[in-house]
Structure 1
Amino acid sequence: MRLLVLGGGGFLGYHVAAEALRDGHDVTVASRSGRAPLDGVEALTVDRHGDLSALDGRRFDAALDTFSDPDAVRSAAERLRGAVGGLGYVSGMSVYHPDGPAVPDEGAPVRRPGEAAVDDPLQERSLAKLAAEEAVTTAFDGPVTVLRVGVMVGPRDPSDRFTWWPVRLARALAGEAPQTVLAPGDPTRAVQYSDARDIAAFAVRALGSEQARVFDTVGPGRAQPLAAVLEECLAAAGGRPGDVTWAWAGENALRSELRDVEEEARPLWFPEDQIPQDAIDSSAAIAAGLRFRPAADTARDVLAWFRERGDDELAAGFDPTREADLVARCAEGTAPTG
Structure 2
Amino acid sequence: MRFLVLGGGGFLGAAVVDAAVAAGDSVTVFSRSGRPPADGVEVLTGDRRGDLGVLAGRRWDAVLDTFTDDEPGAPAVAATARLLSGSVGAYGYVSGMSVYAPDGPAVPDETAPVRAAGQQPDDDPLQQRSLAKLAAERALAEHFDGPVLVPRVGIMVGPRDPSDRFTWWPVRIAEALAGRRDRRVCVPGDPTRPVQFSDARDVAGWVVAMLRAGRGGVFDTVGPGRRQTLASVLDACLAAAGGGPGDVEFVPVGEEALRRGLAGVEEERRPLWFPEDQIPQEAVDSSAALAAGLTFRPVEDTARDTLHWVRRDRGTWPDLDVDLDAARERALLAAD
Q: TM-score, normalised by structure 1?
A: 0.95
Report if aligned partners of 1:161, 1:317 keep a CA contact under 8 Å in 2.
no
Relative distance call for 1:291 and 1:317 in structure 2 (3 A) is farther
SS across alignment from 1:247: strand
* Aligned position for 1:335: none
Deviations 1:175-231 (CA, angstroms, capped at 9, x unpaired): 111111111010100111000000001100111122321010000011111001001
**Where do 5+ consecutive residues of structure 2 fail to align?**
none
* Aligned position for 2:331: 325
Report if aligned partners of 1:65, 1:89 keep a CA contact under 8 Å in 2.
yes
Please tell me whether residue 267 in structure 1 is matched to residue 265 in structure 2. no
* Aligned position for 1:58: 58
Report if aligned partners of 2:261, 2:331 keep a CA contact under 8 Å in 1.
no
Identity value in percent: 64
Report if aligned partners of 1:164, 1:317 keep a CA contact under 8 Å in 2.
no
* Aligned position for 2:114: 110
TM-fit CA distance, 1:254 = 1.1
RMSD of aligned Cα (Å): 1.2
Q: How does 1:103-182 map to 2 (within 5 A)?
A: 103-182=107-186
- Structure 1 range deviating more: 136-145 or 289-298: 136-145
* Aligned position for 1:6: 6
TM-fit CA distance, 1:129 = 0.7
Query: What code does the residue aligned with 1:15 have?
Result: A
Relative distance call for 1:36 and 1:74 in structure 2 (3 A) is same
Query: What code does the residue aligned with 1:182 have?
Result: C
- Structure 1 range deviating more: 269-278 or 123-132: 269-278
TM-fit CA distance, 1:118 = 4.4
Report if aligned partners of 1:158, 1:315 keep a CA contact under 8 Å in 2.
no
* Aligned position for 2:229: 225
Query: What code does the residue aligned with 1:243 have?
Result: D
TM-fit CA distance, 1:313 = 1.8
**Where do 5+ consecutive residues of structure 1 fail to align?**
331-338
1:196 to 191, 197, 200: 200
* Aligned position for 1:333: none
SS across alignment from 2:94: strand
Please tell me whether residue 252 in structure 1 is matched to residue 279 in structure 2. no
Relative distance call for 1:317 and 1:292 in structure 2 (3 A) is farther
CA–CA distance in 2 between the matches of 1:4 and 1:42?
Answer: 9
CA–CA distance in 2 between the matches of 1:161 and 1:305?
Answer: 14
CA–CA distance in 1 between the matches of 2:21 and 2:286?
Answer: 26
Please tell me whether residue 211 in structure 1 is matched to residue 195 in structure 2. no
CA–CA distance in 2 between the matches of 1:198 and 1:271?
Answer: 25
TM-fit CA distance, 1:64 = 0.3
* Aligned position for 1:44: 44
* Aligned position for 1:336: none
CA–CA distance in 1 between the matches of 2:203 and 2:187?
Answer: 27
Report if aligned partners of 1:63, 1:88 keep a CA contact under 8 Å in 2.
yes
SS across alignment from 2:218: strand
CA–CA distance in 2 between the matches of 1:156 and 1:66?
Answer: 16
SS across alignment from 2:306: helix
- Structure 1 range deviating more: 75-84 or 290-299: 75-84
TM-fit CA distance, 1:270 = 5.9
Deviations 1:222-255 (CA, angstroms, capped at 9, x unpaired): 1111001001001000111111111211012212
TM-fit CA distance, 1:128 = 0.9
TM-fit CA distance, 1:158 = 0.4
Q: How does 1:255-334 map to 2 (within 5 A)?
A: 255-269=259-273, 272-310=276-314, 312-330=318-336
Deviations 1:228-286 (CA, angstroms, capped at 9, x unpaired): 10010010001111111112110122123223111121101165211111111100000
Report if aligned partners of 2:203, 2:294 keep a CA contact under 8 Å in 1.
yes
